[in-house]
Structures are given as structure tokens and as C-alpha cells.
Amino acid sequence: MKKALLLLPALALALAACTPASPDSAAENTAESAAAPQDGATAETAAFPVGRLVEGDALQQTGDAYYMTSYDTPAEDEAPLPYLVKLDFATATEEVVWRAEEASWQFSAPVVRDGQAYLTIDSTLYRIPLDGGEATATPLPEETSFSAADEYGLYSFVYERASNTVRGSRMDLQTGQITELAFPAQTESVWAVGESRFLLTRLVTEAPLPDPQEFEMYDAALQNATREYDWFDPATGALEKIFEEPYYPVSREDGSALNRWFLGENGQRLYFGWVLPDGTGGVESCALDGTGWQAVDGLPEDRTIIGYLKRNGMLCWLMGGPEGAHWIFDLDSRRLYQMPNITSGVGFPEALLGSDLVMVADGEQPNIVSGWALISAEEYLNGSTGWIPVTRRTDTAS
């Protein structure tokens, strides 16, 4: 779904790629050892409980509704007034459930937990009861927007270019206490994939990377850099290596280079897309410890992935194909579906909601999207265009 002005820092997607090394390769790398002060961390040293960590659409749903932030188009040179919208699954109807009192261009998507929506506007966190109670406001440190969560806390991430690393923090849902996270040096990407640990990538170099503004020095340092995938426990700082790969794409025997990028987790496996310079591509996966690599069989000849969707934090659908010949591969059933009901605009799947719904782009003409609609996943995958248009928002919030 297109969400207006979602200015929270996204969890970075690393788009460089290479062939994974053996889990034992470079295990004695001195830079790795120096960057791992987490050794010895145990459950007894945990600073807080950690549940199932998720991101994206999984943060914005309850069992019966999806919540999003939007705004009305402001007058020229004026900032908009953000508001919180509830999309009810049963009625396919939007409802405005809360409006901000002050205009701002800086606001985030909501995080829904324990009957409340947490929404950041500028440097203020609003807790908005979903039952219609009065919202409360709490000042936040600058650059705090929450883009991951579990049952106990909200997580914020900011990439600092000067230090070449991600800074992270956690806010406890019960106490409001904010705790800094001890990410290792040169952490470049962080993902919440449904586990009780974050999946992260970090750059391993012989010496610390220089400031990116020193472009020539920075680029030279990256020539021999390694990208390492790790599991990171936010409560203890414990770091567990999964695998590593060269920072720059791997050169193949034919002289071409392979680019790989992380897609998500499904069934206790990590999935990666890859593409060659000629545009051909595919998908492969490995176990959570980086072993057992295997290609995803059953994709069409044109295997290049143009999109993917998750349900409740888990990777579910891979999507590809040119206009008029789109396809969806369902990872749970391992079935490939040809999708004549998908055009470049209307009919394109935007999100997987609830336990069995698909949100699709909707409109009166094939390439002109004016809203969205809901349909069951089964009907949609079988080619149905009988989706129910969503009744756009009603102004019920004062």
C-alpha cells in the first residue's frame, strides 16, 4: 500500500552481493575479533526481554484492522495535519480515528501494540488508544522513529555516515525507558525477520572505514572489504556469525558479476534474490546458520524478482514478470501462479493483511490507480478480479 510521507528511517536493504563463504572461512579475521565485545553475553546478562521482532506491515495490524498515517493536501507553503486511519477488514471501510493538532511534514507510520498506536510526529511520540481514549504525548530524542518492535519494546535505527554504522535504541512499552543498543562497528543494515534476534550486516575491513566524504580513500578501503551477516541479540549484545561475502559483487568464471540482496525469512530459511548483468536472476536460500544453500525451484524462466510481500513479518510471495505476464510464487505452498489480473497499475498486490487478505491497487481504468481494494488470497491467486473497493476515509475523529 502506498503510505503518505512515511519518513521513518527504513531498515537499510543491502543491494550489493556475492557468493557466501564457508561458515568457517575467515573465522580468525582480526578485524572481526576486535569488533566483537559481545563474547560471553548470556541470558543472565540480558538488559530486557525480547520477543518476536518484526517490521513493516506487521507493525500496523491487529487481527481485524490495518492502521496507517495520512494527511490532507495542504495549501501552498503550509505543512499538513497528519491523522491516523483505521481500515476495517470486515467492512473494507476506512475511518479516521485520531487527528494531530499541529501541522508537520515529519511523521511516521504507526506501530500498533497492546491496544495502542504509537505515532511519531517531529520529536514527539503520541500514544493513541485504539478504543477512542485520549492520546498522550511524550518528547523523544531527536531522530527517533520506530521501525521495528516486539511484544515488549519499540526499536529505532539511524545510519550515521560519519561513523559508517547504524545506531539503534529501544523504548520499553511499559516504562518508556530508552536503551541504546550495542551494534558492532560498521553495521550497515538491520532487519527484524520474526526471530528474537536481529539479522544484520556489517563491513569487516583491515582498518576502520574513513569518512564517506573522503571518497577515494573510502572506495579504496572497500575494495577488499567483506560483508558479514550476523544474528544480533539486542538484550545481550551477543553476535553470531551466519556467513560472509565480498563487499563488491562476485566475479564469475565468464567475467560477469553476481549481485545478491536479502529478501526475508520463511520456514526457518533466509532468502536472497540475485541478478546477472544481462538481467537474468533467481532466488536462493540458506538455513538460519548460513548452511544448506539451495536454489528456489519452480520459478518461471524469467526468474528476476520485481517485488515481494510479507505476511506478519514472514516472506510469503515473490513477484516477477513483464507487463501482461506477471507471476506470483507462493513460498508456503511452493506454487507458481500466472496473474492475468495484474496490470502495471490496477490489480497490483500492495500488502498481505490479516490471515488471508490481499490489498490490491484499485481504479476505474487499468493504469490509473485511485484507491485500493480487498480480496481473499485464494481468490486473487486464482485470477479473480472480484475485489471489494475500500470505502475511503470518513472524518469521525475530532
User: Which amino acid is residue 298, in one-letter code?
Assistant: G
Question: How far apart, in whole angstroms, are the C-alpha atoms of residue 9 and residue 169?
Answer: 13
pLDDT, one tens digit per residue, over 276-291 is 777 778 899 999 999 9
Q: What is the mean pLDDT of the chain?
A: 85
Give SS3 for 209: coil
Question: How far apart, in whole angstroms, are the C-alpha atoms of residue 191 and residue 77?
Answer: 36
Q: What angle do CA 230, 110, 106 make, to 5 degrees?
A: 95
More confident residue, 396 or 265: 265
- Which pLDDT band, with edges at 50, 70 and 90, does 43 fall under? low
Question: How far apart, in whole angstroms, are the C-alpha atoms of residue 162 and residue 380?
Answer: 47
Question: Are the C-beta atoms of 63 and 194 separated by less than 8 Å?
Answer: no
pLDDT, one tens digit per residue, over 193-245 is 999 999 999 999 888 888 888 888 888 888 889 999 999 999 999 999 999 98
132: exposed, middle or buried (Cβ count in 10 Å: 0-12, 13-18, 19+) = exposed
CB neighbour burial string for 4-27, b if at least 16 within 10 angstroms, e if fewer: bbebbbebbebebbbebbeeeeee
Report pLDDT for 219. 86
- Give me the phi and psi of 275, to 5 degrees please: -150, 145
In this model, does residue 91 exceed pLDDT 50? yes
pTM: 0.85
Report pLDDT for 144. 87
Q: Is the dihedral of CA 290, 254, 308, 152 positive or negative?
A: positive
